[in-house]
Copies of this chain bind each other. A is one copy, B any other.
């Protein structure tokens, strides 16, 4: 169980950034302070930075309630992130010895890691090591990923805000597409993040409503992509409407297991350092449509805009991110280790959810994909069940705090130089 005298907490952020990850950081900080911890340290660039002795005292960053509100509204990983995966314990014990040495020096009781699949692997290994070598430190994971592909949780913080941005932006692109007429019609192909899981690409269905048809086709990475069938579908759609909008996952693959963007000879080239660079999936498909059908095309990549759009977040998402941060801290404070907080949906309408903790061994390195029954039979869209699942997660807004017409983010002078 917990030490009777509370000492310090350390928190890190890992994996791809989101618009909600800093709200979880704020939740960890607030709960740690309220539960009587002395210092809350923030690892710079996650476990990788910690191993280099890079961390900050968060009280120097979150000094006021306004700072905390700004942090909740600041996109991307405030503390910096990393994609570092710890070695197996038996392969390299020195790494673990070093980490625990730093944690002991800092008098850490609780270690909170905000991240996705790989980050939960870090929690798993550190808690396993701690258990075997008799450490009192508790290691708890806080879920985060726009990809929504974590097991055992109803959804992941970060997903709702990205889904809201995608639904909104796809709707605006569709509207823009109505504006100009072209002789042979036009096809707009939008590329959305998610290498293996199609949750974000599917979220483009949220653009559909009384005032918008939504995307004319949606291709998820869960199904094999067939370029000929795709072109046939484009021809069919173009025969019915002047402006066709299609959303594709960056990770769609053809039957040979290759990414679509690898299919064409012209789409890949090797740079001077021998790295193979891929053209985007949307750019590749737009080119094929132009070649085969001869209509005007446009490829749009939402790129990092979709994970960094702090100006267009879901209130549900930002609040839940804050809550799971607090719940992770609470779990660690109460003596749990090797666990991750999950969100459990109690009802759809009205939407209600709560948090629980689950054994991180059952979560790490697993990937939750869109179930086949939530994709339409012909594989070119998602079902109403899919939309009903996502819709509650994009509700409500968090107004940016505008300064001089632009959203304000949390920043302490000189901090960027540390990152």
Residues of A within 8 A of B (CB): 16-17, 45, 48, 74-77, 80-83, 164, 167-169, 171-173, 175-181, 188, 206-207, 209-213, 241-242, 266, 269, 271-273, 275, 277, 283, 287, 290-292, 294, 298, 300-301, 303-305, 307-312, 314, 391, 394-397, 402-411, 416, 419
> Once bound together, how far apart are the Cα atoms of A326 and B312, in whole Å?
31
Task: Evaluate contact between A82 and B181: CB separation under 8 angstroms.
Answer: yes
Task: Evaluate contact between B179 and A77: CB separation under 8 angstroms.
Answer: yes
> Once bound together, how far apart are the Cα atoms of A406 and B241, in whole Å?
24
Contact for A76 among B81, B179, B290, CB less than 8 A: B179
Q: Which residues of B contact A207 (CB under 8 A)?
A: 406
> Once bound together, how far apart are the Cα atoms of A395 and B167, in whole Å?
25
18 pairs, A vs B, C-beta closer than 8 Å? A16-B180, A17-B180, A75-B172, A76-B175, A76-B179, A169-B309, A171-B407, A172-B308, A173-B304, A175-B308, A181-B419, A209-B408, A241-B416, A266-B269, A271-B287, A277-B287, A300-B305, A394-B406
Q: Which residues of B contact A16 (CB under 8 A)?
A: 179-180
Copies in the complex: 2
User: A148: shortest Cβ distance to chain B, in Å?
Assistant: 16
Task: Evaluate contact between B290 and A271: CB separation under 8 angstroms.
Answer: yes
A310 closest partner in B (C-beta): B172
Q: Which residues of B contact A292 (CB under 8 A)?
A: 272
> Once bound together, how far apart are the Cα atoms of A45 and B178, in whole Å?
10
Q: Which residues of B contact A419 (CB under 8 A)?
A: 178, 181, 242
- 5 additional A-B pairs beyond A242-B419, A272-B291, beta carbons within 8 Å, are A75-B172, A82-B181, A83-B180, A167-B405, A211-B410
> Once bound together, how far apart are the Cα atoms of A184 and B210, in whole Å?
49
> Once bound together, how far apart are the Cα atoms of A310 and B272, in whole Å?
42
Task: Evaluate contact between B168 and A311: CB separation under 8 angstroms.
Answer: yes
Q: Which residues of B contact A269 (CB under 8 A)?
A: 266, 287
